Amino acid sequence: MSHPTDRQYHFDTQVVRITQLTPRMRRITVNCPELAVFHVENGPNIKLYFALPGGGRTSRTYTVRHFRRDALELDVDFLLHEPDGAASHWARHAQPGDTLAIMGPRAPLDLAGEQQLLLLADLCALPAASALLESLPADTCGHALLAVPAEDEIIALQHPAGIAVQWVVNPAVDALLPALAALPASQWQDAYLWAAAESGVVKAIRAHFIAAGRSSRARTRLVGYWKQGLAEHEYHDLRHVEMDET
Ligand SMILES: Cc1cc2nc3c(=O)[nH]c(=O)nc-3n(C[C@H](O)[C@H](O)[C@H](O)COP(=O)(O)OP(=O)(O)OC[C@H]3O[C@@H](n4cnc5c(N)ncnc54)[C@H](O)[C@@H]3O)c2cc1C
């Protein structure tokens, strides 16, 4: 058996509960006895496996929104985006008792020692942003820009009082960019920079940071969570080249 932090670690889970959180976000809760060895809590990445219509399977990257050790239950929040893909299609039609193969988790991001944070996320990155915000030390300060396509996607968040949360209600894929441009660089120049959104948007975010003098990739985690017009398996290798994801 490989170590629980190893990417090769596999779980064959079963769906126990489905909760429609908002019009576009569906929480799927899974469990299996083997999750007893799962030693991280909320926020790390996992790979999920889905059957392909012609045979074989494909993987997608998601976030452990919550892990409840007492119940050996794990929540994954799926954006039901259109056009559909293997993962969102599965989440749209999932029923209790369905199986879900999981590999992971990756080690969660450790921001211990960071006092200031600028966080940017679109709707599919909201599970990761929510888990990150609630894990921060109470004295962390900074800004979170969270883009949602409509007001009915705004959710309650736990975050340090010193983090100003700004909801950007705008269905445009690049809704984060004008919100970032309106934020004076003096407010984030020294902050740890975290962004997760569509690939082209993340590239534009990086360009904005570079133009403001943050050219090093140190103390940044900028990751394209998806790419317009491409399925994840078509985009995966490119993402590793483009982004800070390790
Ligand atoms: C580290 C990491 C963590 C992630 N965590 C989550 C999570 O917790 N919840 C979550 O919902 N997503 C999460 N994502 C994003 C998710 O992996 C992608 O959206 C993925 O492409 C979805 O797979 P799919 O099979 O549904 O669609 P795919 O087959 O990959 O794509 C099919 C079509 O849908 C489009 N598409 C894909 N994603 C989106 C989107 N977000 N918005 C609009 N159109 C899209 C594609 O451009 C393509 O045209 C995460 C990504 C990463 C890298």
Distance CA 173, CA 148 (A): 10
User: Does residue 70 share a domain with residue 177?
Assistant: no
pLDDT of residue 55: 87
User: Does residue 227 share a domain with residue 133?
Assistant: yes
If you average pLDDT over residues 80-104, what whole number do you get? 96
- Which residue, of 76, 103, 130, is where some domain finishes? 103
In this structure, the residue with its CA closest to atom 37 of ligand 1 is 226
The CATH number assigned to the domain holding 211 equals 3.40.50.80
If you average pLDDT over residues 39-55, what whole number do you get? 86
Cα of 86 from ligand 1 centre, angstroms: 9
- Report yes or no on 110 lying in a domain: no
Ligand 1 binding pocket mutation candidate from 29, 61, 124 (most atoms within 8 A of CB) = 124
Percent of the chain, pLDDT > 90? Answer: 78
pLDDT of residue 4: 46
In this structure, the residue with its CA closest to atom 52 of ligand 1 is 225
**Is residue 48's pLDDT more than 90?**
yes
pLDDT of residue 207: 96
Cα of 78 from ligand 1 centre, angstroms: 9
Cα of 45 from ligand 1 centre, angstroms: 13
User: Does residue 147 share a domain with residue 29?
Assistant: no
Cα of 84 from ligand 1 centre, angstroms: 9
- Report yes or no on 40 lying in a domain: yes
- Report yes or no on 3 lying in a domain: no
Domain that holds residue 205: 116-242
| 107 DSSP 8-state letter | P
If you average pLDDT over residues 54-69, what whole number do you get? 93
Cα of 115 from ligand 1 centre, angstroms: 30
Ligand 1 binding pocket mutation candidate from 81, 130, 153, 233 (most atoms within 8 A of CB) = 81
User: Does residue 150 share a domain with residue 60?
Assistant: no
pLDDT in tens, 162-186: 999 999 999 999 999 999 999 999 9
Q: Is 72 helix (H, G, I), strand (E, B) or coil?
A: coil
pLDDT of residue 245: 55
Pairing state of beta strands 163-169 and 141-148? parallel
229 lines ligand 1 (CB under 6 A): yes
Domains of the chain: total: 2
* Cβ-contact 146, 118 below 8 angstroms: no
User: Does residue 191 share a domain with residue 155?
Assistant: yes
User: Does residue 125 share a domain with residue 234?
Assistant: yes
The CATH number assigned to the domain holding 61 equals 2.40.30.10
- Which residue, of 82, 103, 124, is where some domain finishes? 103
22 lines ligand 1 (CB under 6 A): no
If you average pLDDT over residues 225-239, what whole number do you get? 86
- Which residue, of 75, 103, 131, is where some domain finishes? 103
User: Does residue 202 share a domain with residue 121?
Assistant: yes
pLDDT of residue 8: 56
Element (H, E) at 73: strand 73-79
pLDDT in tens, 12-38: 999 999 999 999 999 999 999 999 888
User: Does residue 77 share a domain with residue 167?
Assistant: no
- Quote the pTM value: 0.94
pLDDT of residue 246: 36
228 lines ligand 1 (CB under 6 A): yes
pLDDT of residue 6: 47
- Report yes or no on 222 lying in a domain: yes
User: Does residue 59 share a domain with residue 98?
Assistant: yes
The residue among 127, 51, 145, 144 whose CA lies nearest residue 89 is: 51
153 lines ligand 1 (CB under 6 A): no
**Is residue 5's pLDDT more than 60?**
no
Q: How far is CA 236 from CA 7, 61, 168, in A?
A: 16, 10, 27
User: Does residue 139 share a domain with residue 229?
Assistant: yes
77 lines ligand 1 (CB under 6 A): yes
The residue with greater pLDDT, 178 or 3, is 178
The total of other beta-carbon atoms located within 10 Å of residue 128's CB is 26
**Is residue 151's pLDDT more than 70?**
yes
User: Does residue 193 share a domain with residue 134?
Assistant: yes
Which ligand 1 atom lies nearest to the CA of residue 245?
1
State the amino acid at position 68 in one-letter form: R
Torsion sign across C-alpha atoms 239, 240, 244, 246:
positive
User: Does residue 214 share a domain with residue 192?
Assistant: yes
Distance CA 225, CA 7 (A): 18
Supply angle C-alpha 107, 86, 170, rounded to 5: 80
